[in-house]
Amino acid sequence: MTVVNLENITKVYAMGSVEVRALDGVSLEISEGDYVCIMGPSGSGKSTLMHIIGCLDRPSSGRYYLCGQDVSQLDSTELAHIRNRRIGFVFQQFNLLPRETVLGNVEIPLMYAGVGGSDRRRIAMDALARVGLGDRMHHRPAEISGGQKQRAAIARALVNNPSLILADEPTGNLDTRTGSDILAILDGLNAEGCTIVLVSHDRSVAERARRILHLRDGSVERLEHLRAEEPAERGAESNGHS
Amino acid sequence: MGIAEIVGLALRNLWANKLRTALSVLGIVIGVASVITMISAGSSAQKQITSDISALGSNMIMVTPNLKPGARGRSYEHLLTISLAEQIQAAAPEVSAVSPVAQTEGRLIAGSSSTSAMITGITPAYTRIASSRIALGRSLVQSEVDAAAHSMVLGSRVASDLFGSEDPIGRQVVVVSSGRRATFTVVGMTASRAAVFWFNADTQVFVPVTTLIHRMSPIKRVSSYFCQARSPETTAAAVAQVERFLASAAGTSDAFNVASQQGLVDAVKQVTATMTLLLGTIAGISLVVGGIGIMNTLLTSVAERTREIGVRKSLGACNRDILLQFLSEALVLSMLGGTVGMLLGWLGGAGIARIAGWPVSVDLNSVIAAVSFSTAVGLIFGTYPAVQAARMDPVQALRYE
Ligand SMILES: Nc1ncnc2c1ncn2[C@@H]1O[C@H](COP(=O)(O)OP(=O)(O)OP(=O)(O)O)[C@@H](O)[C@H]1O
Ligand SMILES: [Mg+2]
């Protein structure tokens, strides 16, 4: 099943009289269980593309089908609903709300989904356990390490069982060791069937993915296949391939 | 997202910025407190004054000459006789009693004590019209008026000034007024009663009007006439009859003022209503200022939490969720201010009434008005920041440093 289908997406910013073409005719198809890394120099449009895939932003032109649904036609409330149910964001800056506890942060998407009380708490705790953060859930973000923050952010991204996890340079603010722990969690999630799109500058990070999308000046320079595409619809079966 | 959840979120955010919350609520607190204090104090004062006016007498109508300086005023003075009282009563069937009242200042001497007092000349009808109560002895009688007798009823304050706690009945008092001297015998003393405006019965002494006019006063004129209407319902008719008679007697309608007690009450009510409206408006303006304070706080809060708004939107908050989040903060702020202000205003209103010796009257309408007005202020001034927050572009908000 195709999760993401981008057809000729452009994103143009008008900066006074000058037009900035942040994205210029990008087409991309991502199927369920895929693991795509977007690479490219700074300013090439990686984040812009992630925002469009994540329904935070709308393309200036082109069509975007998310799980078969034409997203370009939806209003802001419907987009919010899609972000809530189908998308899980992981940011470079973690973006945990400082006043909430770790558990409180993970509960936010559930709160906007209308999940209440004890269910919400239980699901959020399960998600935290899944990323190995069961023992820090009552701490505030300021009281935990960068790696732990990113785990919390991943738990928050996971908590509504999204169709797609979008991670924009999730290891950008972490040292190599902690970064590889985080990437291992993402690998594990992909192995369990999660569809993941990752942005990275780092070739060694990108090679964990199945495919690498090379962007340059807003256009697709090259789509590189690293591993045979093996839809992971039945869960973990990625072992034995190279 | 349920209402309880939104309000809970608002409370937590406000709690996290306790000092700022307190300061921004202060404007509303002061606004509401002053609305309620002022309106309550106004209504206490009104109650006091109207009850004082009712205590002046029963169904009383006061007739006073318009003594403007100049030839026009003077030409009516010959009308101010004792017999005009009888003529008024004869001409106005709705008037049950009339007493001429003549007044002059004087010094009273009894043995070694002396005091100054207003010497009021009356007829026996006065006691009934002015609801005067006798504490000791008796009131003046008609035969004393007819004979221009030297009998005197003391106001309670005058009695204590002259005789202390001794029984004044039967004692002699020398009155010195306008260079004349006369000796009076005390026959009674009135019960103490509260002063109303300039009118203090306790610092007066009462003598037969004939004695005052013929033996004491250099002017030989009555000062005013106290009339009594047959019933509260016929007061207006009685006033009209008295006015008509006096207009024909003087040849003009502005020779005399005819004011009923009810008219005074109405006038006072009107004055206090105007004052209350004025004070309420000023207090209302302070409420609006309080609202601007809330708006300022919220705008700051929205700017500070731009990143948070972006994050919440990325996690699935729709514009309505963000709008309600900030709007509920505005409402919690204004209602908190309204509640605290209401309590303070209540205390303030009761305190002022207590100090002034007025009946405590916290006006429920002002409480309802102030609290609902402050809530409305919160809504009005909270809407703009909340809409700003809700309309924020999620990507821009996330990029915000
Ligand atoms: N709001 C905006 N207004 C104008 N131009 C913008 C805006 N947002 C992004 N751009 C431009 O779009 C282009 C792509 O930006 P984008 O953030 O997607 O780059 P990126 O590939 O994520 O870069 P980096 O690796 O530094 O994060 C850049 O040239 C940027 O200046
Ligand atoms: Mg970027």
> What ipTM was reported for this prediction?
0.92
Q: Which atom of ligand 1 is nearest to the CA of A13?
A: 4
Q: Which candidate from A57, A91, A109 shows the least CB-CB separation from B316?
A: A109
B314 to A81: CB separation less than 8 angstroms, yes or no = no
Q: Which candidate from B13, B319, B395 shows the least CB-CB separation from A57?
A: B395
Tell me, using a 6 A CB cutoff, whether residue A172 lines ligand 1. no
Q: For chain B (length 401 residues), average pLDDT per consecutive 10?
A: 83 88 89 84 84 81 77 67 90 92 91 91 90 90 93 93 92 90 93 76 92 81 91 89 90 85 85 84 84 90 94 95 93 90 89 86 78 87 94 92 76
Mean pLDDT of A54-59: 94
A89 to B321: CB separation less than 8 angstroms, yes or no = no
Domain boundary among B254, B284, B315: B254
Residues B107 and B221 in one domain: yes
Claim: this prediction has a pTM higher than 0.90: no
Its domain, for residue B177, covers: 67-254
Distance A198 CA to ligand 1 centre (A): 17
Residues B102 and B224 in one domain: yes
A112 to B312: CB separation less than 8 angstroms, yes or no = yes
| CA gap B177, B187 in Å, rounded | 20
Average pLDDT, chain A: 90
Task: Give the single-character DSSP code of B79.
Answer: G
| In a domain? residue B219 | yes
**Is A85 in CB contact (< 8 Å) with chain B?**
yes
Per-residue pLDDT, A110: 96
| In a domain? residue B130 | yes
Task: Give the single-character DSSP code of A158.
Answer: H
| In a domain? residue B48 | yes
Per-residue pLDDT, B197: 66
| CA gap A97, A111 in Å, rounded | 14
Domain boundary among B199, B228, B254: B254
Domains contained in chain B, number: 2
**Is A68 in CB contact (< 8 Å) with chain B?**
no
Kindly state the helix (H) or strand (E) to which residue B28 belongs, with its residue range: helix B18-55
Fold of A2-240: Rossmann fold (3.40.50)
Residues B226 and B77 in one domain: yes
Q: Looking at ligand 1, which residue's alpha carbon is closest to its atom 6? A: A13
Tell me, using a 6 A CB cutoff, whether residue A48 lines ligand 1. yes
- At residue B207, what are phi and psi to the nearest 5 degrees? -135, 165
Domain boundary among B254, B281, B312: B254
The 10s digit of each residue's pLDDT in A89-141 is 999 999 999 989 999 999 999 999 999 889 999 999 999 999 999 898 999 99
Distance A21 CA to ligand 1 centre (A): 9
Q: Are B1 and A114 contacting, i.e. CB atoms less than 8 angstroms apart?
A: yes
Most ligand 1 atoms within 8 A of CB, residue of A21, A24, A46 to mutate: A46
Residues B227 and B203 in one domain: yes
Residues B313 and B227 in one domain: no
What strands lie across the sheet with A35-39, from one edge to the other? A87-90, A164-168, A195-199, A35-39, A211-216, A219-225
| CA gap B106, B218 in Å, rounded | 12
Q: Is the pLDDT of residue A213 over 70?
A: yes
| In a domain? residue B262 | no
| In a domain? residue B57 | no
Spell out which residues of chain A touch residue B319, defining contact as CB-CB under 8 Å. Answer: 76-77, 80
Of A97, A143, A105, the C-alpha closest to A124 is: A105
Per-residue pLDDT, A241: 45
- Measured in whole angstroms, the distance separating CA A1 from the mean position of its chain's CA atoms is 18
Per-residue pLDDT, A239: 45
Residues B287 and B378 in one domain: yes
Supply the DSSP string of B224-237, one letter for each residue. EEEEEESSGGGHHH
Confidence of residue A238 (pLDDT cuts 50, 70, 90): very low
Q: Which candidate from A51, A80, A84 shows the least CB-CB separation from B395?
A: A51
Distance A49 CA to ligand 2 centre (A): 9
Most ligand 1 atoms within 8 A of CB, residue of A20, A38, A50, A201 to mutate: A20
Long-range contacts of B343-347 (CB under 8 A, 24+ apart): B344/B29, B344/B32, B344/B33, B344/B37, B345/B32, B345/B33, B345/B34, B345/B35, B345/B36, B345/B37, B345/B40, B345/B370, B346/B36, B346/B40
If you compute the radius of gyration of chain B from its CA atoms, what whole number of angstroms results?
33
Q: List B102's β-bridge partners, or say none.
A: B121
User: Would you call B128 exposed, middle or buried from its count of C-beta atoms within 10 A (0-12, 13-18, 19+)?
Assistant: middle
Q: Looking at ligand 1, which residue's alpha carbon is closest to its atom 24? A: A42
Q: List B340's β-bridge partners, or say none.
A: none
| CA gap B39, B20 in Å, rounded | 29
A112 to B321: CB separation less than 8 angstroms, yes or no = yes
Residues B214 and B277 in one domain: no
| CA gap A179, B56 in Å, rounded | 92
Residues B230 and B272 in one domain: no
Long-range contacts of A202-208 (CB under 8 A, 24+ apart): A202/A171, A203/A39, A205/A37, A205/A171, A205/A179, A206/A37, A206/A39, A208/A35, A208/A37, A208/A183
| CA gap B122, B213 in Å, rounded | 10
- 3-state class percentages of chain A: helix first, strand second, coil last, to nearest 5: 35, 30, 40
Give domain limits for chain A: 2-240
| In a domain? residue B302 | yes
Q: Are B180 and B215 contacting, i.e. CB atoms less than 8 angstroms apart?
A: yes
